[in-house]
Amino acid sequence: MVDALRSAHRAVKRGGLVIDARPDASRRPRVVAAGRVRAWLLQSSDADLRDDRADGSVARLVGRGLYRVVRSGHVWHSTRFADLTDLDAYLRDSARYAAFERGTRPRLAPFRDGPFDVRRAIGFDVLERL
Amino acid sequence: MVVTRHPRAGREVRAFGGARLFRGKDVLDIGTGNGRLAFDVAPYARRVLGIDPSEDSVRVARERAAAEGLRNVEFRVGDAAALDVGRERYDIAIFSWSL
């Protein structure tokens, strides 16, 4: 990740911008059924580790004077799933999300025929290339 | 039936700064995948280069660019840690879910 940021530093003009955008697990991803939040998703420990490393890489290169953080923010994404089987299959295959938060999946059972919307926050930092 | 797994990037692009940020700029989309974000930046940017290690993803992105007749978008197979852009320099680089 440090290598990728260094590589981007070479490819971007001085004073240009590098934007790092990733799902923000600190804002819990949620499952909406019939217009209300019914459950939440847990990120995998691997994804937590990758995010920590990415955050550390950004902080390291900011500390070394290669970049300066000029703005941060987040935006919510919504992804639709046809029914509970579809959502379960996604969680089995996802490299980022591991499971439902404890005790929340049963709340989806009455709505098992869907649709479900998974809403997740995408956090971003806008970095100036120094 | 799944409606979508990869939401359009329009909201992200607007949150980053939208037309005001990207208009007339040379943009590098690192880890572009199937070009999800590159295609939403393209209407504003002077040029967008999407780079991804997956040949399959790049092929899909190229096919879409060709189908839509986009002339300011290019996709290449490449590694984020060793970007091969020669002497080209960009105004903006985006790591979209790829760092």
pLDDT tens digit string along A73-109? Answer: 999 989 999 999 999 999 999 888 989 999 999 999 9
What's the pTM? 0.89
- CA distances to A120, B42, B63 from A34, rounded to whole Å, are 17, 35, 37
Strands A12-23 and A116-129: antiparallel
For the B10-81+89-95 domain, the top CATH level (class) is alpha beta
Chain B residues in contact with A32 (beta carbon < 8 A): none
Neighbours of A21 (CB within 10 A): 24
**Which of A11, A22, A126 is facing B99, going by the closest CB pair?**
A22
Q: Which of B22, B64, B15, B14 is nearest to B42 (CA)?
A: B22
Residue among B3, B6, B93 whose CB faces A12 most closely: B93
Sorted by where each begins, the domain ranges of chain B are: 10-81+89-95
- Whether the ω angle into residue B43 lies within 30 degrees of 0, i.e. cis, is no
In chain A, residues with a C-beta closer than 8 Å to the C-beta of B6 are: 79
Residue of A nearest to B22 (CA): A17
Read off the pLDDT band of B4 (50, 70, 90): very low
CA distance A51 to B42: 28
